[in-house]
Structure 1
Amino acid sequence: MDTEAVRSFVRAAELGQLQHAANELGVTQQAVSKRIAALERELQVRLFTRTARGVELTIDGQAFLPHARSIVTGVERAITAIRPGSRALRIDVLGLRSAQAVVLHDYWRSHPETDLDVVTLKVNDPRVAVAAVEAGEIDASFRTVTDPATLPRDVHMIHAFDSPLELLVGPRHPLASARTLTPPQLRRHRIWVPGIAAGSEWSEFYDQLATEFDLRIDAAGPHFGDEVLLDTLADSADVATLVGARDRYIWPTNHDLRRIPIVNPTIAYPLSLVLPRTPHPGLRAIIDHFGSLTPLPEATWRPSWATTRR
């Protein structure tokens, strides 16, 4: 099996577009397409379906992806074992448009000499990410284990930074014209956050948030992706959602969506970093960068498990 074809498949699956995968791999889109086509012929299944927005995994593709990741990881570890010097600093983020990725990109732009590899494990259970850190497959992960006592002995967790939340609504929503909003003003409005995974850190966050401010958090239905969520908001007069102030979203101009800061208090999602007790030497400068971010107002709400210790 051609490992470069497997690598191309993994990156295309994670990024959702062949061109983006080609850009990362330093080859042409045609080359990526040919590699994946050859892999499909060898496996005798279709791994992707093509859509107007890129590519989506088939059922067979979904089944093959975790094993393909293992193949790529195994090859990379084998090469690292004989290559002089250390590999790139590998950090797991929840998504390439998430606040974590944005902050890492800001750091890298100021320090382009940093050999940085940003990856997305795409798992809801933080224990999977912790296991990857413990095994040395990644050097750090933006995950929160709400009970740090359950962490393995060789892994610990630090506070990275707080992500203030904003309300995202369509132009017909009754709150669309507000410049800022307070948590009490959100009461009785439907805040749709689809696909909250039971037992995940964000499940605990939204449970506490709803209880603290008597909010209507609706987690009904699977999460079909940001595009579906944004389309729904644009067409709705009563649905809103919460997004991080640094999270990047792209929507058509005719959606006319509004991002409205929440104040008095600011609602903050605390982002943690899981890392080994003996961390990669490149992590220290990035952690210091987190400390240089603009602090949030004194009037800020955080969940009970939040910590500000580094």
Structure 2
Amino acid sequence: MELDLGAVRAFVAVADCQHFSEAADQLGLTQQAISKRIAKLEAGLGTTLFQRSRHGSDLTEDGTTFLPHARALIALADQATESVLGCARPLRVDVLETRLAATELIRAFHHAHAGVEVDIITSSGLRSGRGALVNGTIDVAFARVVGALDPSIEYIPAYLEPLHVLIGRKHPLATSRQIRLRDLTDSVARMPGNEPGSEWALFYDDLAEDFRLTIDTSGPDFGLDHLLDDIADSADSFIFTGERLRAPWHPEVVQIPIVEPIACYPHSMLWQRRNRHPALPRLIDYVAADFRPFDPEIHWLPPAELCSGRWGSTRESVTR
């Protein structure tokens, strides 16, 4: 049979996201369109590629066998396209959420390199970013790196973001100029709807364990604006936030930095080694030049970052 590249791309997206709805969002299609493409592919191959359940979609044995070949096919097709069109399109940058530090970093890069066109794409973090980098859907992702990466993906430290807290004026620590983590042991960090197993949830699991903190992930999550209203009415809860997060202003909520130590969230920049977008080397150099390394005297990082050895210095060279 002659493989339909659209169907193969849909297969790879579902395999990476493990949900048809998330794959549809990633590719800008409807869930029905994704389902039709997968059904067409399965019919052509004469096999079932996914085992569907209410928890998601897992690869069958045939699906697992087909996946690396599907990735290679998509990568080859994208390389062929990039050889002609690569210079004509924006650099596609994946971020977890537009309020976060990665967006501010890209915004500063764009101001410094006004001639570089950039498209900002939001996703579910590393879970979707891994596959999107490999199949060429995005050029760059910013995320905390946990677990194994595809051998074709390279990354460098991008930014150690100092944590702050958002705290209501009724809280006894609200008048503090700085807050130590050990001062928060009698309070509750609110993170409704936090995704178990995500790279950011694992970060806060380590933070809570090291400093005996309590994190409440119960939902539902109605968004940051509503959560700030809840914090404003509370005398014993708070929200962790990053130094660069653009939080909505609230008259009854204050933002206070964390010290002794300064807990830092580690943002990395990831890209595919074979990517030849002309703006990519400029972004790599910009991020590396702006990076400020980990200082064990004042900073805290989770064990995974300390063991990696990457956070003490910038990466001096990139093999292209």
Aligned residues between the structures: 239
Q: Provide the residue aligned with 1:107 in structure 2.
A: 109
From 185, 188, 194, the equivalent of 1:187 is: 185
> Which amino acid counterpart does residue 69 of structure 1 have in structure 2?
G
3-state SS of paired residue (1:221): coil
Aligned-residue RMSD, C-alpha: 2.7
3-state SS of paired residue (1:133): helix
- Shift of residue 101 of structure 1? 0.3
Measured in 1, the distance between the counterparts of 2:281 and 2:164 equals 30
Q: Provide the residue aligned with 1:69 in structure 2.
A: 28
Distance 1:202 1:111, change over 3 A: same
Distance 1:85 1:294, change over 3 A: closer
Q: Provide the residue aligned with 1:305 in structure 2.
A: 304
Q: Provide the residue aligned with 1:44 in structure 2.
A: none
- Shift of residue 220 of structure 1? 1.6
Tell me, yes or no, if structure 1 residue 178 matches structure 2 residue 180: no
Measured in 2, the distance between the counterparts of 1:103 and 1:64 equals 27
Measured in 2, the distance between the counterparts of 1:226 and 1:84 equals 37
From 243, 255, 264, the equivalent of 1:259 is: 255
From 96, 101, 106, the equivalent of 2:98 is: 96
Measured in 2, the distance between the counterparts of 1:100 and 1:198 equals 22
Q: Provide the residue aligned with 1:86 in structure 2.
A: 88
Q: Deviation string for 1:170-208 (max 9, x for gaps)?
A: 111111000001111111111111222111111211111
- Shift of residue 283 of structure 1? 2.5
180-189 vs 79-88, which moves further: 79-88
Q: Provide the residue aligned with 1:131 in structure 2.
A: 131
Q: With structure 1 as the length reference, what TM-score do the two structures score?
A: 0.69
Q: Provide the residue aligned with 1:283 in structure 2.
A: 280
- Shift of residue 145 of structure 1? 3.3
| Map 1:1-310 → 2, pairs under 5 A | 66=25, 69-70=28-29, 83=85, 85-121=87-123, 123=124, 126-147=126-147, 150-252=148-250, 255-279=251-275, 280-290=277-287, 291-293=289-291, 298-306=297-305, 307-308=310-311, 310=315
The 4+ residue runs of structure 1 with deviation greater than 6 A are 77-82
- Shift of residue 84 of structure 1? 7.7
Q: Deviation string for 1:204-243 (max 9, x for gaps)?
A: 1111101111111221223221111111112222220100
3-state SS of paired residue (1:176): coil
Q: Is the 8 A contact 1:80 1:87 kept in 2?
A: no
Distance 1:64 1:130, change over 3 A: closer
Gaps in structure 1 of 5+ consecutive residues: 1-61, 72-76
Distance 1:67 1:283, change over 3 A: closer
Q: Is the 8 A contact 1:144 1:274 kept in 2?
A: no
Q: Is the 8 A contact 1:98 1:247 kept in 2?
A: yes
Distance 1:110 1:271, change over 3 A: same
Q: Identity rate of aligned residues, in percent?
A: 34
Q: Is the 8 A contact 1:166 1:260 kept in 2?
A: yes
Q: Deviation string for 1:256-306 (max 9, x for gaps)?
A: 311101111100000112210134332333233333255666410011122
Q: Is the 8 A contact 2:94 2:142 kept in 1?
A: yes
- Shift of residue 67 of structure 1? 7.5
> Which amino acid counterpart does residue 274 of structure 2 have in structure 1?
T
Distance 1:239 1:276, change over 3 A: same
> Which amino acid counterpart does residue 165 of structure 1 have in structure 2?
L
Q: Is the 8 A contact 2:127 2:198 kept in 1?
A: no
Measured in 2, the distance between the counterparts of 1:292 and 1:79 equals 32
> Which amino acid counterpart does residue 66 of structure 1 have in structure 2?
D
Q: Is the 8 A contact 1:160 1:287 kept in 2?
A: no
> Which amino acid counterpart does residue 260 of structure 1 have in structure 2?
I
Measured in 1, the distance between the counterparts of 2:122 and 2:190 equals 24
Q: With structure 2 as the length reference, what TM-score do the two structures score?
A: 0.67
- Shift of residue 139 of structure 1? 0.3
- Shift of residue 85 of structure 1? 3.2
> Which amino acid counterpart does residue 189 of structure 2 have in structure 1?
I
3-state SS of paired residue (1:142): strand
